[in-house]
């Protein structure tokens, strides 16, 4: 498998002098194409900062990040935004969608530019994706007329409609009940089976149990990791919970 994301010696600090926080301390990591990786660690250990750094959403103090061998932090801002838009999708804990548009238009909005001459192809693609996500039938509803889990699934559809290779998520199931959360996880698994590389930050062992690799962070550094292949769900949970309790999560 080829490496799709590579970070070399990245360091990120916030604040000045006495108030300085080292959010990432000389972190290096390589993620292979089609991996499903989850990132865990205590609050403040640098998980979100790592995700943002790998997604080109922040500046770094030191180090570099390569996506498919392309150096993210050497591009100018316009190019990085364009590169990000083409290659990456992002989902967060609380999806933000426009209340003036229905679900389908919200999903299609970021991709309109790419399909401006063929809106029907885009609509078809969006509807296929909504079916895969189990939210067909909600196309013409307002964002206030669907459940939290359906809205999150719609936001995942929006994040992947343009066909990015990598999906980043920061606590994407954090605001959901366990049934909705399982549905989101099924969707991630399906996208991963279809070739997408997934990197999720989570506090939830059940989320991490779906990943092939769980990275544990502590104090801005990678502390350890677990790799899963054929372990059953229960075994994975035991291993993850053990690690979480060692780290005091
Ligand atoms: N914009 C910022 N300004 C100042 N400090 C920040 C900023 N963003 C993050 N930090 C600090 O950097 C460290 C790492 O933060 P980060 O958000 O990456 O943690 P996290 O592991 O995602 O935590 P959580 O589980 O609570 O989301 C923390 O000490 C945090 O207070
Ligand atoms: Mg965070």
> SS3 string of 59-108?
CCCEEEEEECCEEHHHCCHHHHHHHHHHHEEEEECCCCCCCCCCHHHHHH
User: CATH number for the domain including 46?
Assistant: 3.40.50.300
- pLDDT of the residue at 243: 96
Q: Is the CB of 202 under 6 A from ligand 1?
A: no
Q: What is the pTM of this model?
A: 0.94
Average pLDDT over residues 128-148: 95
Which structure tokens are listed for 240? 């993850």
Q: Structural domain tally of the chain?
A: 1
Q: Per-residue pLDDT tens for 197-241?
A: 999 999 999 999 999 999 999 999 999 999 999 999 999 999 999
Candidates 18, 48, 52, 218: which one to mutate for ligand 1, based on the most atoms within 8 Å of Cβ?
Answer: 48
Q: What per-residue confidence (pLDDT) applies to 81?
A: 85
Q: Give me the chain's average pLDDT, please.
A: 94
In this prediction, residue 176 has a pLDDT band, given cuts at 50, 70 and 90, of confident
Contacts of 99 (CB under 8 A, 6+ apart): 142, 143, 144
pLDDT for the residue 177: 87
pLDDT score at 80: 87
Ligand 1 pocket residue status of 45, Cβ below 6 Å: yes
Measured between alpha carbons, how far is 33 from 6 in angstroms, rounded to an integer?
Answer: 11
- Range(s) of the domain holding residue 238: 3-247
pLDDT band, residue 46 (cuts 50/70/90) = very high
Specify burial of residue 110 (Cβ count, 10 A radius: 0-12, 13-18, 19+).
middle
Give me Rg for the CA atoms of the chain.
Answer: 18
Confidence of residue 1 (pLDDT cuts 50, 70, 90): confident
pLDDT at 17: 85
Atom number of ligand 1 nearest to Cα 52: 18
Q: Which helix (H) or strand (E) holds 197?
A: strand 197-201
Range 108-123 average pLDDT: 90
Let me know: does 155 contact 95? Beta carbons within 8 Å: yes
* Mutation probe of ligand 1 site: the residue of 13, 46, 52 with most atoms within 8 A of C-beta: 46
Q: What is the pLDDT of residue 62?
A: 97
Please give the structure tokens belonging to residue 82.
């364009």
Q: Residue 72 has which token pair?
A: 């993210």
228-230-234 Cα angle (round to 5): 80
Q: Cα–Cα distance between 64 and 54 in angstroms, integer?
A: 9
Say if residue 152's pLDDT is above 90. Answer: yes
pLDDT at 149: 92
pLDDT 10s digits, 66-99? 999 999 998 888 888 888 888 999 999 899 999 9
Distance 248 CA to ligand 2 centre (A): 16
């Amino acid at each position: 498998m080829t490496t799709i994301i590579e970070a070399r010696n990245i360091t990120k600090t916030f604040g000045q002098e006495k108030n300085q926080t080292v959010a990432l301390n000389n972190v290096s990591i390589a993620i292979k194409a089609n991996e499903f990786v989850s990132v865990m660690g205590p609050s403040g250990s640098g998980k979100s900062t790592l995700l943002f750094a790998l997604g080109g959403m922040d500046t770094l103090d030191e180090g570099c990040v390569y996506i498919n061998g392309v150096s993210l932090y050497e591009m100018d801002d316009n190019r990085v935004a364009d590169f990000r838009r083409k290659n990456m999708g992002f989902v967060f804990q609380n999806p933000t969608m426009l209340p003036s548009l229905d679900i389908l238009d919200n999903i299609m909005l970021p991709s309109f530019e790419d399909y401006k001459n063929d809106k029907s192809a885009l609509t078809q693609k969006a509807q296929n994706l909504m079916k895969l996500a189990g939210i067909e039938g909600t196309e013409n509803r307002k964002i206030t007329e669907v459940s939290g889990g359906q809205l999150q699934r719609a936001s995942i559809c929006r994040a992947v409609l343009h066909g990015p290779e990598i999906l980043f998520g920061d606590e994407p199931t954090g605001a959901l009940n366990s049934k909705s959360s399982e549905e989101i996880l099924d969707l991630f698994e399906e996208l991963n089976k279809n070739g997408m590389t997934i990197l999720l930050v989570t506090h939830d062992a059940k989320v991490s149990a779906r990943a092939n690799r769980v990275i544990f962070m502590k104090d801005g550094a990678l502390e350890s990791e677990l790799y899963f292949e054929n372990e059953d769900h229960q075994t994975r949970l035991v291993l993850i919970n053990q690690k979480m309790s060692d780290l005091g999560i």
